[in-house]
Structure 1
């Protein structure tokens, strides 16, 4: 495959141009919107990187394993929704260390995409 850039690389380059060339020339609401777009592009880049590393599959396996141990019906596509439903319906023990571990894994996975700096604090 000759000269086919990766999606991540295209997003990273476009984000850099937006932040370094376009956004500085804008003011007010337009600058705010450009920065929001750059932030969304950064999130998409991090999500692509996580997929390349297999992170979503690992998180999904952790959720499915926990639900299986708790005898909560689920399919791979609905694991997180079923976990949330089981918590809302109080079918799971909120003090269970295994549940807390799964919730922490899910939260950290999301933070790595949405706000990676938070985990560094």
Structure 2
């Protein structure tokens, strides 16, 4: 059994307290720093939330590598530059998914 609340819930409470209770009373550089910390907490929360989907998408992309190099990402980049995966729908889909996950993590919709 895990203790409650979990890390993500704790980060959420800390972020809300920082935004709702601390930042409004600050000005200038202190306010900027508080908002920057709240943003970093939000990014970390979204990374935790998207970790499984991100890892699965990268695994699908890296599964297309055939050269067995020691750095799979570099091997994939070399293969793409060489045209080895032109018109590869599975790789394209996996890379589009990794980009969408990154976009949701780093710059989420304001809604």
TM-score tier after normalising by the smaller chain length: 0.7 to 0.9
1:92 is matched with which residue? Answer: 83
In structure 1, how many angstroms separate the alpha carbons of the residues matched to 2:93 and 2:101? Answer: 12
Equivalent residues of 2:43, 2:106 under 8 A apart: yes
1:59 is matched with which residue? Answer: 57
1:102–1:74 Cα change, 3 Å: farther
Structure 1: state its 5+ residue gaps: none
2:68 is matched with which residue? Answer: 73
Equivalent residues of 1:19, 1:38 under 8 A apart: yes
Aligned residue pairs, count: 110
Query: TM-score normalised to the size of structure 2?
Result: 0.77
Greater relative contact order, per chain length (Cα 8 Å cut-off, separation 6+): 2
2:94 is matched with which residue? Answer: 102
Deviation by residue 1:34-62 (Cα, 9 ceiling, x = unmatched): 111111101111111123xx213311221
Alignment of 1:83 with 2:76, yes or no, is yes
1:107 Cα deviation after fit: 0.6
Equivalent residues of 1:64, 1:74 under 8 A apart: no
1:72–1:115 Cα change, 3 Å: farther
2:29 is matched with which residue? Answer: 29
1:66 Cα deviation after fit: 2.6
